[in-house]
Homo-oligomer: A and B are copies of this chain.
């Protein structure tokens, strides 16, 4: 793999890959006949581990260069604290994915929504499933195509449920919420789960889908007279980019629109005009608080 492929795969910018090599002696890629870096697959795998450790707060100088075994141990210590014993739902989903049973998977997910309700599903079960699938993938127990299958079926079930929720209950009302992700963020799952939570609260939601340029999110906020811009971040996105992008959006968006950011991206902080939503279950009370604020001055 050449350096551009590794950048895509590991999420580490080319400059960082080169400077790590210079400073820490790792990665140590081979060279092709034209002296360009060629990364062996196992080094790319190690880089993925390092990326995750750095994301959770380890400093590169302390961990780059350590053998894989140590890195895995550190990661387990981190995720061990966050790791719950897998719920029955997660076990069922992993079993169906292992068997490549697409239809069974869709039916199982649909049944879960019906059993626990959309709110509980989107706020608790869904994130748990996504985390379990991601963890299984990073342990090598799932192939990429099985993760794709999960994403696809999960998306379908959630979209269908949101669609039904839009017609149920009271007619849609304010706040008008605009959903989107930044250009570097291709993951739609977090956005969809947030959309479900807002919809259940009776908000009027409009989604721009993933990977919308920041200037365009701001323009859409004006066009749709949005009250809230809801942005979703996965752990994949570098926190520095997320923060920089949020600052840029805050400068460009109308002052009447609040910006709410959430997701698995660590290191985000509240600022004037920017609200960090730490979990999906915070959305419902936050919407009620918004409505109280909106009613007050009137």
Residues of chain A at the chain B interface (Cβ within 8 Å): 4-5, 8-9, 100, 102-103, 143-146, 148-149, 151-152, 155-156, 159-160, 163, 180, 182-184, 186, 204, 206-209, 211-217, 219-220, 223-224, 244-245, 248
Contacts and interface: CB of A to CB of B under 8 A. Distances in A.
Contacts of A184: 8
B100 A215 contact: no
A156 B163 contact: yes
Nearest to A204: B103
B145 A220 contact: yes
B156 A224 contact: no
Given A143-B220, A146-B220, A186-B211, 16 more contacts: A5-B244, A8-B182, A8-B183, A8-B184, A102-B206, A143-B219, A143-B223, A144-B212, A145-B216, A146-B223, A149-B206, A149-B220, A152-B207, A156-B159, A160-B160, A186-B186
The dominant DSSP class at the A interface is helix
Nearest to A159: B159
Nearest to A223: B100
Contacts of A151: 209
A138 to B, nearest CB: 15
Contact of A145 (B5, B9, B156, B212): B212
A82 to B, nearest CB: 24
B8 A217 contact: no
Contacts of A144: 212-213, 216
Nearest to A99: B223
A215 B148 contact: no
28 contacts: A4-B244, A8-B184, A8-B213, A8-B245, A9-B183, A100-B220, A100-B223, A100-B224, A103-B204, A143-B216, A143-B220, A144-B216, A145-B208, A145-B217, A145-B220, A145-B223, A146-B223, A148-B180, A148-B208, A148-B212, A148-B216, A148-B220, A149-B208, A152-B209, A155-B209, A156-B163, A160-B160, A186-B186
A266 B28 CA distance: 36
